[in-house]
Amino acid sequence: MNAIYILWIRQLKKYWRSKPRIIGSLGQPLLFLLVFGFGFGSIFQKAGGGSYIQFLVPGIVAMAVVFTAIFGGIELIWDRQFGFLKETMVAPVSRFNIMLGRTLGGATVSVIQGVAVLLISFLVGFKMGNLLMIFPALVFMFLTAFFFTALGTAIASKLTDMQAFPIIMNFLVMPLFFLSGSIFPLSTAPKALQILGKIDPLTYGIDGLRYAFVGASTLSPWLDLGVLVGVSFLFLLIGKHLFEKMEA
């Protein structure tokens, strides 16, 4: 347990020390929020969808969480190349504890990024239906972050090239993001996109956040919660398997 706590705290310290990383990771979500929110707002409203900002913010918050979480895997490759990972792995602790500590730390950092985007969204007109729902929202954010951090760790365990990792992640994450109902309602999408959306784990994270933020959801919040818990546990086991076989 001490190893998990130490690695968890180490991830948080690295985050706070990297001011450019904090600012840079907010750039893309805020760009999407402003460009899509105000660019498509009138079209969405004329189509009878109501306020597009209210619809869009849960997806943009999830975007901030996901991109921060998934790219935490590149730190694993960095640590492997520069020796810190080898020092950690020779310590008398299990590799699972090392992986879990890193995953928890990465997920916590991702939630902080998501909360930062949420706070900024209030400045552009977003309103939560019930401020007390921030607590279930944090649960959905953390589970989404945990899943994508575990996924990033699993993939990074099989890579040694830092340049290859962002390419693979963009190829994987961008389709997941656009098929999740973050930008447009899946209920009005063609049947094929609806089917793809339902097998996309991020769909359930965004749907849960939308329920917590504005009280509207396409699926059951309990289904959202169950799917996120299930895929998080599954990829934790996959990441554990790959991490234990990885050579430092």
Contact 5, 93 (CB under 8 A): no
C-alpha 148/C-alpha 158 separation (Å) is: 16
The pLDDT-based confidence of 12 (bands split at 50, 70, 90) is: low
**Identity of the residue numbered 237:** L
Q: Give me the number of domains the chain comprises.
A: 1
Q: What's residue 140's pLDDT?
A: 95
pLDDT digits 0-9 by tens, 61-95: 998 999 888 877 777 777 666 656 666 666 666 77
- pTM higher than 0.85 for the full model? yes
- In this prediction, residue 93 carries a pLDDT of 67
pLDDT score recorded for residue 135: 93
What are the tens digits of pLDDT across the range 13-51? 666 666 566 666 777 788 888 877 777 767 766 666 677
Angle, vertex CA 12, rays to CA 17 and CA 177, nearest 5: 100
List, as one string, the DSSP characters of 212-223: HHHS--SS-HHH
Higher local confidence (pLDDT), 246 or 151? 151
Does an H or E element contain 52, and which?
A: helix 52-70
Segments forming the whole domain that contains residue 105 = 2-245
d(CA 224, CA 209): 9
